[in-house]
């Protein structure tokens, strides 16, 4: 059985400015801002929530079924998915558009200036959850606004349990829609900042959310994660990374671990630790889909980190 992963595909163009933005921006001239940054370091990565989650779930030995909309420039990404053995059955090309594009410039203080072009993501609603077969669970990750609204309804109507992962898409939705997503979902996952924002926007705290879902999962970066269920709260420790290189995409890796645990009916203590270890593996490499691990290597690393198998 597969996990249907509804979300974005994107190219991430990452540039490094070997200085500090503050040295080149005059505070009293912000009303006529006109700056240019020389960026000798540049790389282009495959990204987007659906692509990242699918990649990580495949590493674990799961069966990801990503669903998203892409542009006419998707060729290199499609070839990469084929090499990784990830299905493109529900990846739809929208003629006359670009695949989502993130242009990220980072300075020596780790400040970032990002421009994002959604492109084909705006047509995510043209995909239908009901077009997928053999789906056990799903995840609703950041995507086009109407697509997220429609896919939540379609998951619910099809009786497919799904994770609501609002992520960076949260600003697109008002109180009523965020409440509706939560009421339709089986599980909700957010990081600690997103949880604070979600509480403010919905007016609901943990008690109100837990009246509607089976689990609320809150990631806390280096502080581990918290899984709240109706039986109580479970603190998940962090796994030890071999190196700390790039946190981008760690949340997607964590979510792939959650999906893997749910697909295999593991308990929450095991599922959370699988997710934690996936995040630690990802942080050890630059980009969101450049880390490698086999299922056997993962099992050994799990035992080394947590003193037990799964």
pLDDT score, position 69: 98
pLDDT score, position 107: 84
pLDDT score, position 30: 78
pLDDT score, position 150: 98
pLDDT score, position 94: 98
Is the separation of the CB atoms in 240 and 280 below 8 Å? yes
What are the structural domains, with CATH classification, of the chain?
2-21+41-306 (3.40.1190.20)
The arithmetic mean of pLDDT across residues 139-156, rounded, is: 98
CA dist 95 and 88 (Å) reads 17
Helix (H), strand (E) counts: the chain: 9, 13
Please determine, for residue 1, whether its predicted confidence score (pLDDT) is greater than 80.
no
pLDDT score, position 170: 93
pLDDT digits (tens, 9 = 90+) for 243-288: 988 888 999 999 999 999 999 999 999 999 999 999 999 999 989 9
Confidence band of 112 (pLDDT split at 50, 70, 90):
confident
Please determine, for residue 56, whether its predicted confidence score (pLDDT) is greater than 90.
yes
Long-range pairs, 199-204, Cβ under 8 A, ≥24:
201/170, 201/173, 201/174, 201/175, 202/175, 202/178, 203/175, 204/179
Confidence band of 164 (pLDDT split at 50, 70, 90):
very high
Provide the percentage of residues in the chain whose pLDDT is more than 70. Answer: 100
């Amino acid at each position: 059985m597969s996990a249907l992963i509804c979300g974005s595909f994107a190219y991430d163009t990452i540039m490094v400015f070997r200085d500090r933005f503050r040295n080149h921006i005059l505070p009293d001239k912000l009303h006529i801002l006109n700056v240019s940054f020389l960026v000798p370091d540049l790389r282009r990565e495959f990204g987007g929530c659906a692509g990242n989650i699918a990649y990580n779930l495949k590493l674990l030995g799961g069966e990801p079924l990503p669903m998203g909309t892409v542009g006419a420039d998707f060729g290199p990404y499609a070839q990469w998915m084929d090499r990784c053995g990830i299905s493109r059955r529900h990846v739809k090309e929208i003629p006359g558009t670009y695949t989502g594009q993130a242009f990220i410039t980072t300075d020596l203080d780790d400040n970032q200036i990002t421009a994002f072009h959604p492109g084909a993501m705006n047509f995510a609603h043209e995909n239908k959850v009901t077009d997928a077969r053999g789906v056990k669970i799903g995840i609703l990750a950041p995507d086009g606004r109407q697509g997220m609204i429609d896919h939540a309804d379609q998951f619910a109507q099809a009786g497919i349990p799904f994770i609501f992962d609002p992520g960076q898409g949260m600003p697109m939705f008002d109180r009523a829609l965020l409440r509706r997503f939560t009421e339709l979902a089986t599980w909700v996952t957010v990081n600690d900042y997103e949880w604070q924002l979600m509480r403010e926007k919905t007016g609901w705290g943990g008690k109100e959310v837990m009246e509607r879902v089976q689990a609320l999962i809150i990631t806390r970066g280096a502080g581990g994660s918290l899984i709240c269920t109706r039986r109580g709260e479970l603190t998940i420790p962090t796994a030890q990374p071999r190196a700390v290189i790039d946190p981008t995409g760690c949340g997607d890796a964590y979510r792939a671990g959650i999906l893997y645990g749910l697909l295999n009916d593991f308990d929450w203590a095991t599922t959370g630790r699988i997710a934690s270890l996936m995040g630690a593996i990802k942080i050890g490499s630059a980009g969101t889909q450049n880390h490698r691990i086999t299922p056997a290597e993962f099992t050994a690393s799990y035992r080394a980190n947590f003193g037990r198998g799964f």
